[in-house]
Amino acid sequence: MTENVETFRKEKRVYTPELNQIMMVGTIVKPPTLTYSEQSGKACFKCRIVWNKRIPIGQGQWTEKVGYINCCMWNSYAEKAAERFKQKDVVLVQGSLDFMEIQNKENKIEIYNITIDNIQLISRLVEIQENSDN
Protein backbone atom coordinates (compact mmCIF):
# COMPACT_ATOMS: atom_id res chain seq x y z
CA MET A 1 0.00 0.00 0.00
CA THR A 2 2.80 2.43 0.91
CA GLU A 3 4.44 1.76 -2.44
CA ASN A 4 1.30 2.83 -4.34
CA VAL A 5 1.01 6.05 -2.33
CA GLU A 6 4.64 6.90 -3.02
CA THR A 7 4.16 6.22 -6.74
CA PHE A 8 1.20 8.63 -6.84
CA ARG A 9 3.19 11.30 -4.98
CA LYS A 10 6.13 11.00 -7.37
CA GLU A 11 3.86 11.34 -10.39
CA LYS A 12 2.03 14.29 -8.75
CA ARG A 13 -1.33 12.63 -9.22
CA VAL A 14 -4.20 12.62 -6.80
CA TYR A 15 -6.08 9.37 -6.23
CA THR A 16 -9.84 9.74 -6.55
CA PRO A 17 -12.32 6.93 -6.08
CA GLU A 18 -14.28 5.89 -9.14
CA LEU A 19 -17.73 6.64 -7.80
CA ASN A 20 -19.82 9.02 -9.86
CA GLN A 21 -23.45 9.04 -8.74
CA ILE A 22 -25.84 11.96 -8.49
CA MET A 23 -29.42 12.14 -7.27
CA MET A 24 -31.52 15.28 -7.42
CA VAL A 25 -35.09 16.50 -7.52
CA GLY A 26 -35.99 19.23 -9.99
CA THR A 27 -38.65 20.53 -12.34
CA ILE A 28 -38.49 19.97 -16.11
CA VAL A 29 -38.42 23.53 -17.49
CA LYS A 30 -38.56 22.94 -21.25
CA PRO A 31 -40.52 20.40 -23.28
CA PRO A 32 -38.37 17.23 -23.33
CA THR A 33 -37.12 15.96 -26.67
CA LEU A 34 -36.52 12.52 -28.15
CA THR A 35 -33.82 12.28 -30.79
CA TYR A 36 -31.94 9.43 -32.44
CA SER A 37 -28.19 9.23 -32.96
CA GLU A 38 -27.23 9.41 -36.62
CA GLN A 39 -24.43 6.86 -36.27
CA SER A 40 -25.95 4.21 -34.01
CA GLY A 41 -29.66 5.00 -34.16
CA LYS A 42 -29.88 4.99 -30.35
CA ALA A 43 -32.75 6.93 -28.80
CA CYS A 44 -31.86 9.89 -26.57
CA PHE A 45 -34.35 11.56 -24.20
CA LYS A 46 -33.20 15.08 -23.28
CA CYS A 47 -34.61 17.40 -20.67
CA ARG A 48 -33.49 20.45 -18.70
CA ILE A 49 -34.27 20.61 -15.00
CA VAL A 50 -34.17 23.43 -12.48
CA TRP A 51 -33.72 23.23 -8.73
CA ASN A 52 -33.85 25.80 -5.95
CA LYS A 53 -31.71 26.09 -2.84
CA ARG A 54 -32.61 28.35 0.08
CA ILE A 55 -29.59 30.05 1.66
CA PRO A 56 -29.70 31.95 4.97
CA ILE A 57 -28.41 35.53 4.69
CA GLY A 58 -28.76 36.40 8.37
CA GLN A 59 -31.31 37.75 10.82
CA GLY A 60 -33.93 35.22 9.79
CA GLN A 61 -33.79 36.22 6.11
CA TRP A 62 -33.25 33.85 3.23
CA THR A 63 -32.31 34.11 -0.41
CA GLU A 64 -32.89 31.56 -3.13
CA LYS A 65 -30.27 30.22 -5.51
CA VAL A 66 -31.50 28.63 -8.74
CA GLY A 67 -29.58 26.16 -10.90
CA TYR A 68 -30.21 24.46 -14.24
CA ILE A 69 -28.73 21.27 -15.68
CA ASN A 70 -29.27 19.29 -18.87
CA CYS A 71 -30.06 15.59 -18.60
CA CYS A 72 -30.14 12.73 -21.10
CA MET A 73 -31.27 9.11 -21.06
CA TRP A 74 -30.44 6.52 -23.71
CA ASN A 75 -31.96 3.53 -25.55
CA SER A 76 -35.39 2.00 -24.92
CA TYR A 77 -35.68 3.79 -21.58
CA ALA A 78 -35.39 7.06 -23.48
CA GLU A 79 -38.45 6.25 -25.58
CA LYS A 80 -40.48 5.36 -22.48
CA ALA A 81 -39.36 8.55 -20.71
CA ALA A 82 -40.35 10.65 -23.73
CA GLU A 83 -43.86 9.21 -23.59
CA ARG A 84 -44.23 9.79 -19.85
CA PHE A 85 -42.54 13.05 -18.85
CA LYS A 86 -43.61 16.58 -19.72
CA GLN A 87 -42.61 20.16 -19.06
CA LYS A 88 -43.39 21.26 -15.47
CA ASP A 89 -43.13 17.70 -14.08
CA VAL A 90 -41.21 17.46 -10.81
CA VAL A 91 -38.84 14.49 -11.13
CA LEU A 92 -36.25 12.55 -9.18
CA VAL A 93 -33.22 11.96 -11.39
CA GLN A 94 -30.52 9.39 -10.60
CA GLY A 95 -27.45 8.95 -12.73
CA SER A 96 -23.88 10.06 -13.31
CA LEU A 97 -22.39 13.49 -13.81
CA ASP A 98 -20.69 14.08 -17.17
CA PHE A 99 -18.26 16.88 -17.93
CA MET A 100 -17.13 18.40 -21.19
CA GLU A 101 -14.82 21.31 -22.02
CA ILE A 102 -15.34 23.41 -25.13
CA GLN A 103 -12.71 25.86 -26.30
CA ASN A 104 -13.98 29.07 -27.85
CA LYS A 105 -11.91 32.07 -29.02
CA GLU A 106 -11.49 33.58 -25.55
CA ASN A 107 -11.52 30.69 -23.07
CA LYS A 108 -12.65 27.20 -22.16
CA ILE A 109 -16.29 26.61 -21.26
CA GLU A 110 -17.18 23.83 -18.84
CA ILE A 111 -20.44 21.99 -19.47
CA TYR A 112 -22.00 19.54 -17.02
CA ASN A 113 -24.78 17.07 -17.83
CA ILE A 114 -26.47 14.21 -16.01
CA THR A 115 -26.66 10.87 -17.81
CA ILE A 116 -29.87 9.45 -16.36
CA ASP A 117 -30.03 5.86 -15.11
CA ASN A 118 -33.43 6.28 -13.46
CA ILE A 119 -36.07 9.01 -13.53
CA GLN A 120 -39.22 9.04 -11.41
CA LEU A 121 -42.22 11.33 -11.38
CA ILE A 122 -42.63 13.13 -8.05
CA SER A 123 -45.55 15.36 -9.00
CA ARG A 124 -47.24 16.79 -12.05
CA LEU A 125 -48.54 20.33 -12.27
CA VAL A 126 -52.08 20.03 -13.55
CA GLU A 127 -53.44 23.15 -15.12
CA ILE A 128 -57.15 23.59 -14.56
CA GLN A 129 -58.91 25.32 -17.39
CA GLU A 130 -61.95 27.29 -16.37
CA ASN A 131 -65.09 26.57 -18.29
CA SER A 132 -66.73 29.83 -19.33
CA ASP A 133 -70.16 28.15 -19.45
CA ASN A 134 -70.38 27.78 -15.65
Q: Are 25 and 91 in contact (CB under 8 A)?
A: yes
Which alpha helices (DSSP H) does the chain contain, by range?
Answer: 2-10, 76-84
The CATH class of 17-124 is mainly beta
pLDDT in tens, 15-68: 667 789 999 999 999 999 999 999 999 999 999 999 998 999 888 899 999 999
What sign does the CA torsion over 114, 115, 117, 120 have? positive
Q: Are 77 and 53 in contact (CB under 8 A)?
A: no
- pLDDT level of residue 10 (50, 70, 90 thresholds): low
